[in-house]
Amino acid sequence: MSDGSRRGAELDPSTGPHERLRSLGLELPPVATPKGVYVPARRTGGQVWTSGQLPLVGGELPATGLVGAEVDPDDAAAYARIATLNALAAIDALVGLDAVASVVKVVGFVASAPGFGGQPGVVNGASELLGAVFGSAGEHARSAIGVAALPLNAPVEVEVVVDLT
Amino acid sequence: MSDGSRRGAELDPSTGPHERLRSLGLELPPVATPKGVYVPARRTGGQVWTSGQLPLVGGELPATGLVGAEVDPDDAAAYARIATLNALAAIDALVGLDAVASVVKVVGFVASAPGFGGQPGVVNGASELLGAVFGSAGEHARSAIGVAALPLNAPVEVEVVVDLT
Amino acid sequence: MSDGSRRGAELDPSTGPHERLRSLGLELPPVATPKGVYVPARRTGGQVWTSGQLPLVGGELPATGLVGAEVDPDDAAAYARIATLNALAAIDALVGLDAVASVVKVVGFVASAPGFGGQPGVVNGASELLGAVFGSAGEHARSAIGVAALPLNAPVEVEVVVDLT
């Protein structure tokens, strides 16, 4: 209720996250199989915490390497969006996206060339997707961090925590 | 109540976090405007999670670069303290510092030159401020991490999770 | 109850985490004294959040340096296991391991040589130990991150969040 009214400030309250993804031309991908003894997302109390998500598309990374060197920052923002779509798929598979009341936290790790300080612009690819899907309920706390290397030499990794209705 | 008695072990229970900041000669700065679709802090249940905070002073970084190379570790500890003051400002703007029962977790990211292993000393700048402001209720779990680069080439970034009364 | 039945799918329900550690030939070490104004683990609501744990053995690191350069990835997985054992010791000292209902999240930071993308294999050293100790209740969300440097030049650092019964 209160959640619907918050979203109503920006988004058509008669639509849900699935419709908004469709109107963005996006589709939730299948959840990627984790490469270890862990799960794509876990429920704890009234929250879901996702694993760090890579920008895998059909099991493949569209690019590898350091942002600010091999990977263009604008492209990296698009990869952060893909990683976030994978996080939404993990949440949807666990509890259904309609059960998301709000987004609490996003951490965006950006594999960064020495001296690259544009992590906020890259991680905006994640934040803007969450805003488009959840409206003001998608406003989250966020950390953007530049790291030396990521699994499979991915350029970005995104983890998400959401509150459930 | 129980919170007051815990703090009472170390600090004058008749004072609150605002008074303690004043007695340290510190003032909460205005909350920095986030550079994306996110917010400085989010409440979730009985907690507040802050965004990663940079050591911005009046919107400017006092230094940039890697700790252990361009930035002295002792200076970096002072910057971690400033970043933590910004985190406290974000919490205060959202719920008021008097609503903080205890500090749960601090993550301190330190932009680190190759081979620099002094992250704990740097992040002590954050932990010691929280101890001075909250007493034993400020004792937190903590991770100190050395990273390749941070937004705007900041030397440190600090995120904080607190429990509310 | 439900917890016991989940574990029962894989593990002898008549044993607890202490017995399982013993059957693995492992013993909980003493909790390492933090190097600052923080604590090894904090309880918040029905959870415990640990500090980032290094693979200290008797207060000493068995190796230092970057994984993929000075440190072999398979050895690093063993160090991730040791760091996780230290995390379990911190949880045990705070609430007792028998109070753990399930593992929510693991973040594994791996000090990584440029171009090293094998963080998932390293952090499996953490995840597999949690699976062996807690069975399916040990299945967690996870992020594996490659970083520039860690405290004391440790090769890995592991933090753990658990739900309590």
- CATH code of A113's domain: 3.30.1330.40
pTM score, whole prediction: 0.93
**Which of B7-21, C35-49, C55-69 is the least confident region?**
B7-21
Residues B84, C34: Cα–Cα separation, whole Å:
20
Asked whether the beta carbons of A110 and A72 are under 8 A apart, the reply is: no
Once rounded to an integer, what is the mean pLDDT over residues B84-102? 97
Buried b / exposed e along A103-120 (16+ C-beta atoms within 10 A): bbbbbbbbbbbeebbbbb
Chain C: residues touching B (Cβ < 8 Å): 34-42, 44-45, 49-52, 64, 107, 109, 111, 147-154, 157, 159
Residues A13-45 pLDDT 10s: 778 999 999 999 999 999 988 877 799 999 999
Task: Using CB atoms, list chains with 3+ pairs below 8 Å to chain C.
Answer: A, B
Read off the DSSP letter of residue A61: -
Is B36 within the bounds of a domain?
no
Chain A: residues touching B (Cβ < 8 Å): 45-47, 102, 104-106, 111-121, 123-124, 127-128, 130-131, 138-148, 161, 163
Is B125 within the bounds of a domain?
yes
Q: Can you spell out the DSSP letters for C17-86?
A: HHHHHHHTT--PPPPPPPSSS--SEEEETTEEEEPPB---BTTB-S--S-BTTTB-HHHHHHHHHHHHHH
In chain C, % of residues over pLDDT 90: 87
In this prediction, residue A2 has a pLDDT band, given cuts at 50, 70 and 90, of very low
Whether A50 has a pLDDT exceeding 70, the answer reads yes
B:C CB pairs within 8 Å = 96
Residues C36-56 pLDDT 10s: 779 999 999 999 999 999 999
Cβ pair A114:B147 closer than 8 A: no
How is residue A10 written in tokens? Answer: 């920006």
Residues A59-103 pLDDT 10s: 999 999 999 999 999 999 999 999 999 999 999 999 999 999 999
Once rounded to an integer, what is the mean pLDDT over residues C109-116? 97
Measured CA distances, C21 to B152, C17, C131, C141 (Å): 45, 6, 11, 22
Q: How many domains does chain B have?
A: 1
Q: What ipTM does this complex have?
A: 0.92
State the residue for tokens 């933590």.
B84
Structural domain harbouring A148: 2-164
Cβ pair B145:C37 closer than 8 A: no
Once rounded to an integer, what is the mean pLDDT over residues C133-159? 97
CA distance C65 to chain B (A): 8
Residues B47-68 pLDDT 10s: 999 999 999 999 999 999 999 9
State the residue for tokens 């100190």.
B144
pLDDT of residue A10: 61
Residue in chain A lying closest to B46 (CA): A46
pLDDT of residue B10: 61
Best B31, B33, B35, B37 residue to mutate vs chain A (most A CBs within 10 Å) = B37
